[in-house]
Structure 1
């Protein structure tokens, strides 16, 4: 060994000693090559999603100047997600790597339609709006497939840590992409961001193409209509009869009024600055969720009922303060802080569902949860856009804080949720 190699080894050893045990345990899951590939694919795809979310909504607002149109755009983007429920039984039987790859390829092609229309001189708000539900339909299988792939790649005792790492990476990338998108839109325009977005989807497709996810059932099984409907009913029945379903109801309160607020966010950002401010607001909220995701594994030994109620109340107060306090810096900072408790909740809830739901039902249960969320949030966005035209963006933004407060009240009022213990205490398949 050379002296250079020796010095490098010594430095690595010293660095390892400086890493806290909690961080080392969380990062140990990265030793799994399948998880690393999934993480990279999700990260690249998430970067594209962040670029698109800023460029598309701002482009609609820029072309129309109307919150009613941004509300409609939000609805068209999210409403197709309701069909995730129908995709669940298919995801549970599919080759997940193939599902993820084809989803990214399809999204790449749809995104390219907007810059192509601009190049041909046919760009209009109708073209931008038409691409939104098509892109959402292409992404229909991706979320449930990613959720179902994780427990097939990671051991059960590392599930919370894997979700924490995945959420940290996802939210870091998302925050970065939204801030970058806001700056790019301000400098180069929304159409240019669509081109960059298409490239990210192509790279994600290549990454997922080399991902091998172990199959739970033979992928070439025929799925007859009767079997499909039975699978669908099985996922819905589990939600109806288990704690997961009661957790979902609480989330729907918050998601509806969050949708109301998101519909007017471009108009609210316009009063503070412009597209760069819009990107910063979205990035700030994502950073808050990221911080909460990091903190999730530090509090996963505490009762989830307690952390959720206290966290949601704090989130509601901080969101309200963000709207009321003047100044871009203060607004972005408070928005970010208001999302921290939601980051903790998201990781804990996901780990609870992934552990408590039997593996053979996880895809369809995840799809059902995604479908329910995709029904209430678009409805909230459509209503929020119309309300913004009537009452103004600031008044509508205040409703976002109310949604989190309602979720806290629901958790406190339902005994099984209020007394719910640590997510790490959930046993495998107990909700089944």
Structure 2
């Protein structure tokens, strides 16, 4: 497939608008993360408080599954617009507290879970919007573009955020962040997303259900869970959750490993390698979109675990960073391929529910992995924890190999629309 063919997904005007709005939104998220964590540490001088800040930011994600039924029955452009506006309003609480002389770490910490809660709608809404804006055979390329742009902008935002703190202070970055949310809201406001492009039967369905009460909400929520657990997607979820847990375990001790190699600079390079490898894998995913997902996952995750293990074993700054980056390439391919499979195989009118259940499950296991990794690092040492994490990645590949329906699963482009209902 030629480069023009790979970029053909950008010919779809509404997808370009969605991608632009997502880019601005991710920029705002990255700026906020840097400013919030720095401000908490600046106000307290305590790493315990920064740990609490990270927990408060992540834990609301457990509730993601509750927003899915709402997203599936709402106009997606409106959901995205209101989510960005709400986040912008919450972010402004900190600058207003500073102006009135009432800024404290309690105020900063209190805004964190609130901001995460109002932002819960954005992810499922964006996931549900993509297959309504591009043809089914372009889903891999669309997700590759969204992932690559998101990861790249997030990495840039963290660097820009650090520079802005020096120029205007952490509170000033909050103001800039609010402006990015407002711009993203403006972009999403003009986004034209069809109510549905494909119903559960695969037929065109441009109407919304007439009523939506508590019983309907509960039924829709149950239907989203059953769609996931009652198909091969549930088996994929088990492997993904295990992989996310292992990444949390490794992430907890990565600063200690970097300190032994060379210090803070090495840690920064490892994080940059993580982002670069994931982005690279996302871009390469369109090259393997016709390869059976079972085959690409088994080979890719095995290679990822082995490369990661070697990067830990050699323990040399430049070589370890390079190998760590390469180990994330198969992960980037896997993420895009599974997302394209999800968007193609799940009926559009259930995508919000299914993707939000996935998000809730990930939010449950990732913090647990971080906590366990930190404890194990103290008990058995950093390198041992990292090597166990690498071995676990190979075990995830073995899980795909041993489960027949995963081992033989077809390519993302071969999944029939609505076939995973």
TM bucket by the smaller chain? 0.7 to 0.9
Distance 1:326 1:281, change over 3 A: same
Partner residue, 2:201: none
Partner residue, 1:338: 327
Q: Which deviates further from its counterpart, 254-263 or 142-151?
A: 254-263
Partner residue, 1:319: 308
Q: Distance between the aligned counterparts of 1:317 and 1:70, measured in 2?
A: 33
Q: Distance between the aligned counterparts of 2:392 and 2:95, measured in 1?
A: 37
1:178 aligns with 2:158: yes
1:25 aligns with 2:5: yes
The match for 1:109 among 84, 89, 112 is 89
1:147 aligns with 2:127: yes
1:428 aligns with 2:408: no
Could you tell me whether the CA contact under 8 Å between 2:298 and 2:401 is conserved in 1?
A: yes
Give the alignment of 1:155-304 within 5 angstroms.
155-182=135-162, 184=164, 190-216=170-196, 218=207, 221-265=210-254, 272-274=262-264, 280-304=269-293
Q: Distance between the aligned counterparts of 1:148 and 1:204, measured in 2?
A: 18
Distance 1:270 1:193, change over 3 A: farther
1:94 aligns with 2:74: yes
Q: Distance between the aligned counterparts of 2:89 and 2:111, measured in 1?
A: 10
Could you tell me whether the CA contact under 8 Å between 2:273 and 2:325 is conserved in 1?
A: yes
Partner residue, 1:76: 56
Q: Distance between the aligned counterparts of 1:269 and 1:193, measured in 2?
A: 28
Could you tell me whether the CA contact under 8 Å between 1:232 and 1:364 is conserved in 2?
A: yes
Partner residue, 1:132: 112
Unaligned runs of 5+ in 2: 197-205
Q: Distance between the aligned counterparts of 1:196 and 1:396, measured in 2?
A: 39
Q: Distance between the aligned counterparts of 2:392 and 2:115, measured in 1?
A: 28
1:413 aligns with 2:402: yes
Deviations 1:25-46 (A, max 9, x none): 1211211110010000011111
Distance 1:219 1:102, change over 3 A: farther
Could you tell me whether the CA contact under 8 Å between 2:251 and 2:370 is conserved in 1?
A: yes
Q: Distance between the aligned counterparts of 1:374 and 1:128, measured in 2?
A: 22
SS of the equivalent of 2:67 reads helix
Distance 1:224 1:315, change over 3 A: same
Q: How many equivalent pairs are there? A: 410
Q: Offset at 1:197?
A: 2.7
1:34 aligns with 2:14: yes
Q: Distance between the aligned counterparts of 1:395 and 1:343, measured in 2?
A: 25
Q: Distance between the aligned counterparts of 1:136 and 1:281, measured in 2?
A: 27
Name the TM-score, length of structure 1 as normaliser. 0.84
> Root-mean-square deviation (CA), in Å?
2.9
Deviations 1:127-166 (A, max 9, x none): 4433322221011110000011111111222222222222
Q: Offset at 1:425?
A: 1.2
Q: Distance between the aligned counterparts of 1:123 and 1:328, measured in 2?
A: 41
Q: Distance between the aligned counterparts of 2:380 and 2:408, measured in 1?
A: 40
Q: Distance between the aligned counterparts of 1:215 and 1:269, measured in 2?
A: 48
Unaligned runs of 5+ in 1: 1-20
Q: Offset at 1:319?
A: 2.9
The match for 1:308 among 297, 300, 318 is 297
Q: Which deviates further from its counterpart, 409-418 or 124-133?
A: 124-133
Partner residue, 1:3: none
Name the TM-score, length of structure 2 as normaliser. 0.86
Partner residue, 1:355: 344
